[in-house]
Structure 1
Amino acid sequence: MITIGPLEAADRAAWQKLFEGYNTFYERTVPQEVYDRAWAGFQSGERMHALTAKLDATMVGIVHFLVHASTTSADVCYLQDLFTSDEARGKGVGRQLIAAVRDWAVEQGCSRVYWHTKHDNHTARLLYDKVAENRGFIHYVIPLDR
């Protein structure tokens, strides 16, 4: 049985392993400080939020999300990161994590939940096309060197 819930202090190692898997999938190398900062942010729950999916008490999925203002509607919820372990794929974990974020956003008074994915992430898009509407926007980024 899949259970969805908040991150707990004891989840740190399992969460980081999944988040590392997410970053590896997107071919990113992330320093430990980034994981530490994200973990601290999720623990405070002020700006960033996280949920986990557990299958028989083993963490098999994570989702990270945040709320931001909108000029044309009530606040919106951005689902930033969603990842499931290989062994959990196809078992409804991603769908349940998305549904949990949607429910959370409704409780917060948000007008919508949205996210981005790469155009060639065909496996994820099979799910996304079933649970959300692709509005056809193209995503642009200006990296800021620090």
Structure 2
Amino acid sequence: MNSVVIRAALPGDESSWRSLWRGYCKFYGAVVADEVTARTWQRILDPDSAVMCVVAEVDGKVYGFANCVVHENTWEIQPVCYLEDLFVLPSARSHGIGAALIEWLRNAMRAEGWARVYWVTQQDNAAARRLYDRFTQADSTVRYVIASR
């Protein structure tokens, strides 16, 4: 595979992003309403939104994405970046695309002055955890979720 280019998502990436998004949701067994997907894409393109997306492109084709939320927090003065969704096309895995996306975020953290980049994954997501462990070790955080529905 040729070199990976990481860049901000552009309006022309919508169909690629939506295809990858469907794969991501399927992997997690999540059903996300069409209006939520449409609104997420709108926020990604909105320069005033805290939601951002970078895509991984090889030879003009998008193979992966990282959807993030940059937000203020109560533990640091600087903002932090929550890597909410990371997905690489299954056929393109093990070629450094996921690592390139995380490395881009690590560089953005330094350049933008974020205090940290953080994310969560399922405990049994062994393939992803092998990648994540190359960057940092999981902490002891236990997540609780109260859903409105």
TM-score, normalised to structure 2, is 0.93
Distance 1:79 1:68 in 2: 11
Instruction: Report whether the alignment pairs 1:62 with 2:65.
Output: yes
| 1:20 paired residue among 22, 36, 46 | 22
**What value does the CA root-mean-square deviation take over the aligned residues?**
1.0
Aligned residue runs from structure 1 range 24-63, under 5 A: 24-45=26-47, 46-63=49-66
1:56, distance to aligned residue in structure 2 (A): 1.5
Percent identity between matched residues is 34
1:88, distance to aligned residue in structure 2 (A): 0.9
| Count of paired positions | 145
Q: Which amino acid aligns with 2:27?
A: F
CA contact (8 A) 2:50 2:71 kept: no
Aligned equivalent of 2:116: 112
| Runs of 4+ with deviation above 6 angstroms | none
Structure 2 stretches lacking a partner, 5+ long: none
Higher mean Cα deviation, 101-110 or 91-100?
A: 101-110
TM-score, normalised to structure 1, is 0.95
1:70, distance to aligned residue in structure 2 (A): 2.0
SS at match of 2:32: coil
SS at match of 2:131: helix
Q: Which amino acid aligns with 1:64?
A: N
1:108, distance to aligned residue in structure 2 (A): 2.1
Structure 1 stretches lacking a partner, 5+ long: none
